[in-house]
Amino acid sequence: MPRSTLALPRLLELLPGPPEIGYLEELLFASKAEVERRDAETLELSVTPDRLDLLSEGGLALYLQGALGAARGAPKVRRGRPPAGGAAFTVDASVEAIRPEIAGAIVRPPPRTRLDPGLLAEAVRFQELLHATIGRDRRAMSLGLYPLRRIAFPVRYALEPTASVRFVPLHATEEVGADAFFRSDPMAARYGPLGRVGDRCLTLRDAAGTILSLPPILNSHTAGEATPGDRGLLIESTGQRRRAVQDGLGLLLVAFAARGWSIAPAAVEGPGDRRTAGEEVVQPRSVPLPAPVVRAIAGLGDGPLDVVGRLGKARLRARRVRGGWSVAVPSWRPDLIAPVDLAEEYVLTEGIRPEDGVVPASVTRGRRRPESRFRTRVAEVLLGLGLSEPHTPLLVSESIVGQLGGPLPIRVANPVSAEYAFVRDRVLLSHLELLGRNTRHGYPQRFAEVGPVLVRAASEESGAGTRYHAALVEAAEGAGFASATALVDDVLRELDVGAVREPADLPGTIPGRSARVRVAGDAVAEIGELHPRLLAALGVPVPVAWGEIDLTALGPLVGRRDGA
């Protein structure tokens, strides 16, 4: 879980009073956070990955204000004004191939105040935490803070020849050329490949020709160093995906919004659909919340719903519309995307306590089901055969389904990407992806896994049924149909099961080198040697033997014999 150490005095500045530590822990538990350590100066907190806003003093304070009853509804965020002449990024088409997305905002302090050392330290620390989480170590997203007084707009975002780029790195005092910077600087050694293509590198350069930064590597000392006393900042985010860029920027803004800073959008002018006024990172987005969704998830039936009051405690603004509510979600809550997320927030505002659970009276309470014990028994047999145990997801890619061929498994209606487009109907699909990812590892590779699959089933209400399979793979010189048969026979022998084999034409296998295994007339397993054409597509240089046992089919047969 993501973790951060917050400055406790700065947090308490934003609260009506210091909460008792036990009550604080209870409030945080209801928000998916947990206190790891506390002393007079610091509060160490861990959170689930969807509540990163709580890892800044400002974000945590906004939540606690609502939970403690000191504030209700959406925080008031002052709308700032852009600099004279406007604030905009001009995006050159050259960045499209490496890091195409950019977004930004202008933040200014309340009247008669300036950037203080505590807020600057909070912003920088939170910035690095966001780099490590949703930024995936700056690959997907990175952030930069710049003093507004040193910038002449518009700021150009482009790939420039490294030979033409000179700047003073943030931690240095002397100007260097980009070529020398990439050769010798530790930050360039770590992040350089993310912002460089051949002899060109990414730059943010203002209208006066001053380098602000080399994203996502390092700011310049000249125009990219925010310092205490600044009266305004430009915050920018660049990355590969628009969603990650906007989420990262929105989260960082909470540190400033919580202390009354104004926020103004920075426009983006660029090729294609890159042109935007930047309002999406400033204005709350509207998410619908139908009443039936709240009732179903909260288990209230026809009971009363205080959505406006409860979501107000979560610092959200809800208004009644036909059929439910419309909820204004601020930019620092990227976890609230769909109605189900808001319904979960509704439930969490009242807290979830252990005493709320009711354990039904049952003589079998705490006893494992026979099918679970059988699967565990098979997994132990596989381990005893010297097979490594991977853990693979239920979703598989469109490409691997196409490479295997045969009847299509169930397709996901709205997949997040082609990498998770189908639900596997055999564990082999996941193991093919595993083989393709591990071609740089030595051979032999021998592994097995017990896991769920989803198969079409007309008898089920959803049209699909969950079954459990045990899949065995051996990738090695000399592996083949005989070794696949031996592996499956070893498992069945350990289970004291007699079986017969019959030839079968199975997808992805060599014709004549695959079979189906039956026990008491029921098909319980498939075995085969994978086709060289499939292995070539995966980049696997050695033969592969495969066997897959349907434990859902085999379990009742073994249980019937054993009298279970």
- 3-state SS string for 338-385: CHHHHHHHHHHCCCCCHHHCCCCCCCCCCCCCHHHHHHHHHHHHHHHC
Element spanning 253, H or E: helix 242-257
Strand 88-91 vs strand 262-269: parallel, antiparallel, or unpaired? parallel
pLDDT band per the 50, 70, 90 thresholds, residue 511: very high
The CATH class, in words, for 370-562 is alpha beta
Assigned fold of 285-355: Phenylalanyl-tRNA Synthetase; Chain B, domain 1 (3.30.56)
Half-sphere exposure of 317 (CA within 13 A, CB side): 10
**pLDDT one-digit tens code per residue, 432-451:** 999 998 988 899 999 999 99
**pLDDT one-digit tens code per residue, 153-189:** 999 999 999 999 999 999 899 999 999 999 999 999 9
pLDDT band per the 50, 70, 90 thresholds, residue 52: very high
Say which CATH architecture domain 88-281 belongs to.
3-Layer(bba) Sandwich (3.50)
pLDDT band per the 50, 70, 90 thresholds, residue 359: low
Say which CATH architecture domain 3-67 belongs to.
2-Layer Sandwich (3.30)
**pLDDT one-digit tens code per residue, 109-158:** 999 999 999 999 999 999 999 999 999 999 999 999 999 999 999 999 99
Where do the H-state alpha helices sit in 286-336? 291-298, 307-313
Res 352 pLDDT > 70: no
Res 34 pLDDT > 80: yes
| Secondary structure of 85-141 as H, E, C letters | CCCEEEECHHHHHCCCEEEEEEEECCCCCCCCHHHHHHHHHHHHHHHHCCCCCCCCE
Rounded mean pLDDT of 315-330? 95
- Report helix angle 551-562 to 370-384, nearest 10: 100
Task: Delimit the domains of the chain by residue range.
Answer: 3-67, 88-281, 285-355, 370-562
Tokens linked to 283: 């204005």
Greater pLDDT, 367 or 443: 443
Q: Would the pTM of this model clear 0.85, i.e. be above it? A: no
**Of 507, 519, 514, 513, which is closest to residue 551 (Cα–Cα)?**
519
**Of 87, 89, 92, which is closest to residue 202 (Cα–Cα)?**
92
pLDDT band per the 50, 70, 90 thresholds, residue 484: very high
> How far is it, in rounded angstroms, from Cα 507 to Cα 423?
17
Which of 77-86, 331-340, 555-564 shows the lowest per-residue confidence on average (mean pLDDT)? 555-564
Rounded mean pLDDT of 285-294? 94
Phi–psi pair at 10, nearest 5 degrees: -70, -35
